[in-house]
Amino acid sequence: MKRHTGITILSFVVSIVLFYLSLRGLHFNEIWASLRKTNAYAFIPIFFIAAAISLSSFRWSRVAGATVRFGEAFVAMLIGMFANNVLPLRLGEVVRGYVLSHKKGLSFTYACSTVALDRFFDLTGLLLLTLVFFPRASLPPAVSKGIYLVIGVLVLCVLLIILLSRESLSNHLSKRILTMEKSFLSRLSKRVIEVQENLRRIGSPMTILFFVVMSFFTWLSMSIALYFVTLALGVSVPRACIPFVCALLNFGITIPSSPGYVGVYQFLIVYLLSIFGVPRSEGFTVSILYHASWYIPYTIVGFGLSLREHLRIRDMRKLEEQEETSQ
């Protein structure tokens, strides 16, 4: 509990500091003048965001198994998004696993393992988006080196997943780990088996490739939403750079932050757009409008669905604690 409290406090501190840095040197008049340029394009991003969440929900329903329907995954996904927007510690991922397990009668551990694998496909889609739209000539050397490091780590993760998809290897690895008398290693062994079982159920490499391509188009849809936000505000930025900005933005929000990524979102968009010559005042207004274009719908719809599903966070936390003690 103390550890969670410390992480929560750190997350809010990070968000406050980054929000301050994104606003430093800006004047309200500059931000207001930029916002006043907003035109009818401001409503278009919602359609591409809806397409992205639909693609993501369909992919997760296939990852979770044939018995899980698209509608069930869609509801669980939106409730998870709502939870991420209002709760600390990124509990939304746990919440959507809980909702799916509750709706389908699946074990909580199994449902969360499908969430973890689904997030892996998300990362591969972002990786592919970064590689396709990498603007080598426009980036500062330090940024390029950092991105190459991130890509290297993700490639290693992909290779690890491919290795774990081999049943004989994963079983051998898990048995070896189980012989070590360490509780965290025992939990790691179970996670290895869960990943392998999920990959085995998914089936052929072509199915895995299909999920990766679907993830690419999911994030491309979010990139198009960002592009229309820049059009709505009259911000001039090279179109080919928008998907790259979107990919790095979503890599960046993995750092600890307050619910809804407030502060981190603003700082990253302002910095990334400034690389391509966008003034900080315009970058900040882009961050506000783009953030609102998914934060508000996810929160409203997710809240309504959580009421319909009679979701109680207290019960979810109790179930999570029970699963941890049983491991």
Q: What is the CA radius of gyration of the chain?
A: 21
| Average pLDDT over the chain, rounded to an integer | 83
Residues 138-195 pLDDT 10s: 777 777 777 778 778 777 766 766 666 665 655 666 566 555 555 445 555 555 566 6
Say yes or no to pLDDT of 313 above 60: yes
Highest mean pLDDT among 48-52, 148-152, 164-168, 204-208: 48-52
Into how many domains does the chain fold?
1
In a domain, 4, yes or no: no
| 121 φ/ψ sector (left φ>0, alpha ψ -120 to 50, else beta) | alpha
3-state secondary structure of 257: coil
- Check: CB of residue 194 under 8 Å from CB of residue 120: no
Q: Is residue 224 part of a domain?
A: yes
Task: Tell whether 307 is covered by a domain.
Answer: yes
Q: Which residue has the tokens 């739209």?
A: 133
Spatial distance between the Cα atoms of 251 and 265, rounded to a whole number of angstroms: 11
Residue 280 within a domain: yes
- Between CA 273 and CA 278 the distance in angstroms is 5
pLDDT at 221: 98
Task: Calculate mean pLDDT across residues 276-291.
Answer: 94
Nearest to 63 by CA among 50, 76, 51: 76
Mean pLDDT calculated for residue range 83-105: 87
Phi-psi region of 129 (alpha: psi -120 to 50; beta: other; left: phi over 0): alpha
CA distances from 74 to 61, 77, 171, 240, 286 (A): 8, 5, 33, 30, 27
Note if the pTM is more than 0.75.
yes
With H, G, I as helix, E, B as strand and everything else as coil, classify residue 37: coil
* Residue 122 to residue 236: CA distance in whole angstroms: 28
Would the pLDDT of 215 be above 90? Answer: yes
Q: For residues 235 and 248, what is the distance between their CA atoms, to the nearest angstrom?
A: 19
Per-residue pLDDT of 5-26, as tens digits, reads 777 788 888 888 999 999 998 8
Q: Which residues contact 98 (CB under 8 A, 6 or more apart)?
A: 108, 111, 311, 316, 319, 320
Do the domain assignments include residue 1? no
Q: Long-range CB contacts (< 8 A, 24+ apart) of 197-206?
A: 197/113, 198/63, 198/113, 198/114, 198/117, 199/117, 199/161, 199/164, 199/165, 200/165, 200/167, 201/65, 202/62, 202/63
The pLDDT tens digits for 234-265 are 999 999 899 999 999 998 888 777 888 999 99
Which range marks the domain in which residue 256 is found? 12-326
Indicate the Cα dihedral angle 291, 293, 298, 299, nearest 10°.
70
> How far apart are alpha carbons 59 and 293 in whole angstroms?
22
Residue 2 lies in a domain: no
Asked if residue 6 belongs to a domain, the reply is: no
Report the candidate in 166, 160, 134, 129 with the shortest Cα–Cα distance to residue 52: 129
The pLDDT value recorded for residue 197 is 64
For residue 324, what pLDDT band results from cuts at 50, 70 and 90?
low
Query: Between the CA atoms of 235, 238, 239 and 240, what dihedral angle is there, to the nearest 10 degrees?
Result: -150
Residues 300/90, Cβ–Cβ less than 8 Å: no
308 domain-assigned? yes
